[in-house]
């Protein structure tokens, strides 16, 4: 049997390695039109910013390593021009020699990846505007920086790569302006989470221009200008376009492979396309949500690796099957980590879930340690089933841990209540006695099963007139800033002073972050108030949201 | 209804707080014979070592805070002398005034905690030997250190607290010798894990004396000597005894409450004892394993908090119930983190599991980052069900994350294969494309479902004659050190040179950490070898184990 794989970054080499692990006999050939293989695409922003990272660090494995280890042939600078599926053959061009030839296969795997979206910007092709998708493109940015010692950069697009690049450029002394169509960075996240990212950019003097799109680039010997649709212009030394990627599927489409959501190749749980003996893996292949089984497309190296291994196993008779994804992701931006898994609130609304949501501000470790930092977990659960739907987390330390714990819990259909029961590892340097994850689970469970309803700042503001707002913080905190129209009854006095308010009134209570608000809510409910909401994340969260 | 709680550290106050959250009407009284309440026992070693941690940091809440917040009465320096369960009353002594009185209750909760085990050591009572269980005891150590500027300390016992204290004393310039009955620190862990802890102590010039126990303490004006059973003596300036704790249950026993495993109070899922309206929570109460439902007793603040909340809920008509624990724990020792969850190999053997085990040496984040550090995950899975049984992890960074992910997975009965499928958060600063947890899951699953058997160094050494050992590392690595009798066939040559070995032979292959060994194993199996084992953790792990 001969396995022919098109593409050799993460997914393609995973297919090959797993197939060989399972079987010594089959022939395995990979065609890669680029010169680099098996590289870390996610490492590119670091490669540009950190001088200790060498090209070899990102591309540790060459075809000869794969030959020795796995007895397989990776032919770089070889482009597959077309596929004849009836004859089970491909026509290939050797990009070095120009020679074209035909090769046969028994199993064909598309691992063609994704390519940068090229936005319709005038004069985009010039010698100071770059994409950032592969090592060669990163090399070009690095070379430009080294030769021209630029002072300023414009990054178009505020997704993962754009933000990570912004940080890395700042580290080497370049001033950065990010231009983004959306109002905030990371448009896929909820706005009340993204606002923390915008703040981190401000704190690190990266200029963020939201609600802007680029019309064109103007340049002459004197200056280089990025021209916005709004009429503004930004003088810069160079530009990096990071507006996202799209699946590379033309070859597959040419032979009638089914294309699905977001233009990615439809595959089953074994990574098979609709055409016999043709597979697709990695960024060119469609995934599905482990929460609701709907198709999602989240191109990431971690998923590509899994798909590759499953495909290689299936080709050689194994039983592994793809289990879907949660859209888990994470990135670091200066001192901030931002992670997400499962559904955002925006997605829960679009999908019409009956959900509860909570903003949980908590230290990542025992508060008396000097290194303790606050994080914010925005978590959603399904009011009907109690199940955790998703979380977005921002903070300085320990964000990755909580994302992974929640992702693991969601995978197994955990309810909010079950989060509280988790036996997580506690010692002062690692956590608090109740971990932030426990706390989020408790609060959501109380909202689902009990009567401890939560209201978000947006929900409160949308119906402000319906509620009496009680600020239970100390007088001096209330005096320095408070929600318009809120009345101040410090928690310690609420058992007396509640009497001024009718029990029939809809009441919103809040403290600084939510805990005393919860105590006040319980007291009022136990005293017979009919409808009491605790403001999610307290005044701290309210202020953050107000800045959107 | 009146709820009377005996003890006010973690569990007791949790009972009270939850009961009040659910109900404004009931009366709640807590008697605490100590002067401090609601403190972080796990923070005590840090309190001694870090001068920025104040007493108030460990005891942030006083009775007046609880009164204001929860309308409950905490009476410190009040000792409950006896309980009359028929009459539902307790006799209490006010330790300040000497006054004794009777109080009534409807529900009684034992939250009496645990007390330090006092080992049978001669002359233990003196002014330079301390226990370390509460804030007052920690104060005494701090005072001693401040007044006497000691140069040396002996710590008796190498559990969590002893090790954490050793680090904190070193930080303030005190030389430390630890005396431990077991051969290695943390006797509850497997030896091939504990060996990494011993190494970390050596690297930080803490003297560890294993297989030793203390006979007595001798002192005069000139010197203070710790005298060991072996005849050795250690000159020291002071001694801290950290040989563990035992549940405090005398009051409960006096009224016929059932006592179980390890002397802790037997409770049901609602924390009820065998006697009506009598509960027990926290370190004095028995827990059970979420893996096999057997009783376990692991006194930790995180579990105490959960038990307290569940008890408070049940008393006030709630439905929360205890879900068992995994024995999850973690501690930091200098640069090393050590975490554990579920069963150790020793426990799996004692419980007669048909298990597979693997030692996984992997970086915590992308290897090309300067901050990348290696960790070792020792993980066990049940060969019959495929389920993950437990893990022990040592490493510099990211250990807590992997422990919590595995603990969460075990909670939901995850199989090794399911670990591989987890959609964990990947970006270079947080993980590798395949997280170490994925990798452990893959390897164990291959051992369970496939033919990729794993052998531990101990298993190999116990039956060394049965196996041909093939070292697949490069020649120069083999030359510098190798397993006695191993033959060297570098991986790249194995497809040729295998012919010198009979396919009927039992073969063990190994590389440095296990990955190339796995490749060699697959090649040999696919070439028709009948029985091929990969050495768990490769030569690196073999060397570590050899040093036990």
- Chain A residues touching residue B58 (CB < 8 angstroms): 368
* pLDDT score, position A48: 84
Give me Rg for the CA atoms of chain A. Answer: 27
Place of tokens 């990096």: A240
- Chain A residues touching residue B526 (CB < 8 angstroms): 22-25
Query: In percent, how much of chain B has pLDDT > 70?
Result: 100
Q: Shortest Cα distance from B220 to chain A (angstroms)?
A: 38
Structure letter (DSSP) for residue A498: G
Place of tokens 């059970």: B288
* pLDDT score, position A44: 85
Mean of the per-residue pLDDT values for chain A? 95
Closest Cβ–Cβ partner in A367, A400, A422 for B425 = A400
Secondary structure (3-state) at A15: helix
Q: Is B515 on the interface with A (CB under 8 A)?
A: no
Give the pLDDT band (50/70/90) at residue A547: confident
- pLDDT tens digits along A491-537: 999 999 999 999 999 999 999 999 999 999 999 999 999 999 999 99
Mean pLDDT of B367-384: 95
The answer to whether B43 contacts A368, with C-beta atoms less than 8 Å apart, is yes
The rounded distance, in Å, linking the Cα atoms of B389 and B397 is 23
- pLDDT tens digits along B173-189: 999 999 999 999 999 99
The answer to whether B405 contacts A403, with C-beta atoms less than 8 Å apart, is no
* pLDDT score, position B58: 80
Q: Is A23 on the interface with B (CB under 8 A)?
A: yes
- Chain A residues touching residue B429 (CB < 8 angstroms): 332, 337
A residues 398-417 lying closer than 8 A (beta carbon) to B: 398, 400-401, 403-405, 407-409, 411-414, 417
Residues A370 and B456 sit within 8 Å (Cβ to Cβ): no
The answer to whether B426 contacts A337, with C-beta atoms less than 8 Å apart, is no
Give the count of alpha carbons within 13 A of A317, CB side only. 7
Mean pLDDT of B335-355: 97
Mean pLDDT of A453-481: 96
Q: Is A339 on the interface with B (CB under 8 A)?
A: yes
Q: Is B50 on the interface with A (CB under 8 A)?
A: yes
Q: How many CB pairs under 8 A join A and B?
A: 262
Mean pLDDT of B72-91: 96
Nearest alpha-carbon partner for B360 in B533, B198, B193: B193
Closest Cβ–Cβ partner in A52, A302, A491 for B426 = A302
Q: How buried is A241 (Cβ within 10 angstroms: 0-12 exposed, 13-18 middle, 19+ buried)?
A: buried
Q: Shortest Cα distance from B252 to chain A (angstroms)?
A: 26
Mean pLDDT of B127-134: 91
Distances (CA, A) of A427 to A365, B185, B338: 8, 18, 11
Mean pLDDT of B59-87: 93
Query: Is residue B383 pLDDT above 80, yes or no?
Result: yes
Q: Shortest Cα distance from A342 to chain B (angstroms)?
A: 10
The answer to whether A300 contacts B426, with C-beta atoms less than 8 Å apart, is yes
* pLDDT score, position B247: 97
Q: Is A499 on the interface with B (CB under 8 A)?
A: no
Q: Is A55 on the interface with B (CB under 8 A)?
A: no
Those residues with Cβ within 8 angstroms of residue A131's Cβ, 6 or more apart along the chain or in another chain: A116, A118, A137, A240, A241, A242
Those residues with Cβ within 8 angstroms of residue A389's Cβ, 6 or more apart along the chain or in another chain: A291, A342, A343, A348, A353, A355, A380, A381, A382, A410
Positions of B marked catalytic? 42
* Gap between the terminal Cα atoms of chain B: 58
* Gap between the terminal Cα atoms of chain A: 58
Residues A257 and A243 sit within 8 Å (Cβ to Cβ): no
Q: With left for phi above 0 and alpha for psi between -120 and 50, is residue A231 left, alpha or beta?
A: left
- Chain B residues touching residue A341 (CB < 8 angstroms): 423, 425
- Chain B residues touching residue A10 (CB < 8 angstroms): 433
- Chain A residues touching residue B160 (CB < 8 angstroms): 427
The answer to whether B425 contacts A328, with C-beta atoms less than 8 Å apart, is yes
Structure letter (DSSP) for residue A332: E
- pLDDT tens digits along B406-419: 999 999 999 999 99
Closest Cβ–Cβ partner in A324, A405, A519 for B69 = A519
* pLDDT score, position A49: 78
- pLDDT tens digits along A18-44: 999 999 999 999 999 998 887 777 888
Distances (CA, A) of B471 to B480, B505, B539, B545: 12, 15, 9, 17
* pLDDT score, position B502: 95
Is the CA virtual torsion B288, B289, B295, B297 positive or negative?
negative
Q: Shortest Cα distance from B276 to chain A (angstroms)?
A: 25
Where do runs of H (alpha helix) occur along A412-485? Answer: 416-421, 436-449, 457-462, 475-480
Distances (CA, A) of A134 to A76, A138, B366: 14, 6, 17
Distances (CA, A) of A458 to A357, A383, A536: 12, 19, 10
Query: Is residue B51 pLDDT above 90, yes or no?
Result: no
Best mutation target, B14, B398, B404, to test chain A (most A CBs within 10 A): B404
Give the pLDDT band (50/70/90) at residue A451: confident
- Chain B residues touching residue A69 (CB < 8 angstroms): 491-492, 516, 519
Residues B271 and B302 sit within 8 Å (Cβ to Cβ): no
* N residues, chain A: 548
- pLDDT tens digits along B291-313: 999 999 999 999 999 999 999 99
- Chain A residues touching residue B366 (CB < 8 angstroms): 40, 42-43, 46
Backbone angles phi, psi at B427, to 5 degrees: -160, 150
Mean of the per-residue pLDDT values for chain B? 95
Q: Is A20 on the interface with B (CB under 8 A)?
A: yes
Angle separating helix axes B515-526 and A63-70, nearest 10 degrees = 50
Those residues with Cβ within 8 angstroms of residue A537's Cβ, 6 or more apart along the chain or in another chain: A358, A359, A360, A361, A376, A457, A513, A514, A544
* pLDDT score, position B43: 82
* Mean pLDDT lowest among A30-39, A351-360, A479-488, B120-129: A30-39
Give the pLDDT band (50/70/90) at residue B133: confident
The answer to whether B516 contacts A69, with C-beta atoms less than 8 Å apart, is yes
* pLDDT score, position B33: 94
The rounded distance, in Å, linking the Cα atoms of B514 and B541 is 9
Q: Which residue has the higher pLDDT, B69 or B338?
A: B338
- pLDDT tens digits along B215-246: 999 999 899 999 999 999 999 999 999 999 99
Cα pseudo-dihedral B333, B338, B343, B349, rounded to 10: -70
Give the pLDDT band (50/70/90) at residue B59: confident
Residues B129 and B113 sit within 8 Å (Cβ to Cβ): no
- Chain B residues touching residue A323 (CB < 8 angstroms): 418, 421
Q: How buried is A65 (Cβ within 10 angstroms: 0-12 exposed, 13-18 middle, 19+ buried)?
A: middle
Structure letter (DSSP) for residue A35: S
A277: number of Cβ within 10 Å? 15
Closest Cβ–Cβ partner in B320, B424, B526 for A404 = B424
A387: number of Cβ within 10 Å? 20
The rounded distance, in Å, linking the Cα atoms of A105 and A16 is 14
Query: In percent, how much of chain A has pLDDT > 70?
Result: 100
Mean pLDDT of A311-322: 96
Q: Is B171 on the interface with A (CB under 8 A)?
A: no
* Mean pLDDT lowest among A36-40, A54-58, A482-486, B519-523: A36-40
Mean pLDDT of A222-237: 96
**Which residue on chain B is closest to A515 by alpha carbon?**
B69
* pLDDT score, position B46: 84
Is the CA virtual torsion A443, A445, A450, A451 positive or negative?
positive
Secondary structure (3-state) at B113: coil
Positions of A marked catalytic? 42
- Chain A residues touching residue B70 (CB < 8 angstroms): 519
**pTM score, whole prediction:** 0.96
Structure letter (DSSP) for residue B434: S
Closest Cβ–Cβ partner in B25, B300, B431 for A426 = B300
β-pair partners for A240: A130, A155
- Concatenating the DSSP letter of every residue in B301-321 gives HHHHHHHHHHHHHHHTT----
Q: Is B64 on the interface with A (CB under 8 A)?
A: no
B97: number of Cβ within 10 Å? 9
Q: Is B369 on the interface with A (CB under 8 A)?
A: yes
Best mutation target, A68, A408, A493, to test chain B (most B CBs within 10 A): A408
Distances (CA, A) of B486 to A198, B449, B481, B490, B500: 59, 28, 10, 12, 14
The rounded distance, in Å, linking the Cα atoms of B169 and B251 is 36
- Concatenating the DSSP letter of every residue in B415-429 gives BHHHHHH------TT
Give the pLDDT band (50/70/90) at residue A479: very high
**Which residue on chain B is closest to A23 by alpha carbon?**
B526
B residues 69-98 lying closer than 8 A (beta carbon) to A: 69-71
* pLDDT score, position B546: 87
Backbone angles phi, psi at A362, to 5 degrees: -150, 150
- Chain A residues touching residue B327 (CB < 8 angstroms): 423
* pLDDT score, position A209: 98
Structure letter (DSSP) for residue A501: S
The answer to whether B426 contacts A327, with C-beta atoms less than 8 Å apart, is no
């Amino acid at each position: 049997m001969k396995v022919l794989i098109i593409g050799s970054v993460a997914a393609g080499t995973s297919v090959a390695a797993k197939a060989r692990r399972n079987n010594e006999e089959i022939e395995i050939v990979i065609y890669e039109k680029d010169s680099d293989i098996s590289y870390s695409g996610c490492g590119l922003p670091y490669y540009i910013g950190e001088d200790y990272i060498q090209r070899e660090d990102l591309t540790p494995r060459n075809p000869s390593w794969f030959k020795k280890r796995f007895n397989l042939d990776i032919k770089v600078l070889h482009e597959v021009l077309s596929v004849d599926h009836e004859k089970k053959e491909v026509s290939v061009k050797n990009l070095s020699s120009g020679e074209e030839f035909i090769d046969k296969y028994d199993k064909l795997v598309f691992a063609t990846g994704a390519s940068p979206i090229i936005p319709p910007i005038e004069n985009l092709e010039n010698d100071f505007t770059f994409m950032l998708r592969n090592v060669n493109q990163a090399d070009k940015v690095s070379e430009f920086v080294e030769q021209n010692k630029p002072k300023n950069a414009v990054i178009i697009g505020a997704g993962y790569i754009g933000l990570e690049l912004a940080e890395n450029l700042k580290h080497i002394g370049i001033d950065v302006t990010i231009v983004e169509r959306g109002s905030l960075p990371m448009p896929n996240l909820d706005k009340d989470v993204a606002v923390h990212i915008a703040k981190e950019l401000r704190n690190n003097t990266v200029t963020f221009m939201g609600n802007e799109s680029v019309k064109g680039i103007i340049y002459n010997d004197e200056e280089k200008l990025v021209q916005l649709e709004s009429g503004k212009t930004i003088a810069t030394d160079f530009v990096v376009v990071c507006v996202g990627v799209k699946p590379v599927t033309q070859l597959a489409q040419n032979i009638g492979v089914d294309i699905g959501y977001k233009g990615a190749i439809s595959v089953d749980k074994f990574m098979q396309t609709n055409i016999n003996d043709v597979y697709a893996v990695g960024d060119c292949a469609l995934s599905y949500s482990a929460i609701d089984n709907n198709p999602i497309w989240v191109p990431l190296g971690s998923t590509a690796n899994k798909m590759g291994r499953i495909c290689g196993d299936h080709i050689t008779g194994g039983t592994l099957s793809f289990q879907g994804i949660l859209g888990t992701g994470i990135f670091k931006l200066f001192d901030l980590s931002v992670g997400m898994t499962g559904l955002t609130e925006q997605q829960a609304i679009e999908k019409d879930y009956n959900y509860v949501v909570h903003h949980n501000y908590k230290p990542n470790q025992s508060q008396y340690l000097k290194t303790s930092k606050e994080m914010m977990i925005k978590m959603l659960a399904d009011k009907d089933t109690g199940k955790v739907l998703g979380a977005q987390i921002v903070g300085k330390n320990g964000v990755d841990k909580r994302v992974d714990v929640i992702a693991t819990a969601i995978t197994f259909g955990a309810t909010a209540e079950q989060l509280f029961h988790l036996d997580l590892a506690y010692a002062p340097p690692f956590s608090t006695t109740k971990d932030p994850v426990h706390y989020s689970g408790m609060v959501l469970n109380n909202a689902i099963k009990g009567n401890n309803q939560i209201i978000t700042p947006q929900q409160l503001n949308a119906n402000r007139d319906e509620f009496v707002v009680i600020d239970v913080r100390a007088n001096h905190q209330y005096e320095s800033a408070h929600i318009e129209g809120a009345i101040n009854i410090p928690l310690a006095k609420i058992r007396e002073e509640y009497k001024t308010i009718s029990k029939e009134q809809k009441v919103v209570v809040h403290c600084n972050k939510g805990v005393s608000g919860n105590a006040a809510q319980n007291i009022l409910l136990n005293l017979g108030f009919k409808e009491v909401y605790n403001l999610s994340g307290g005044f701290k969260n309210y202020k953050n949201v107000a800045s959107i």
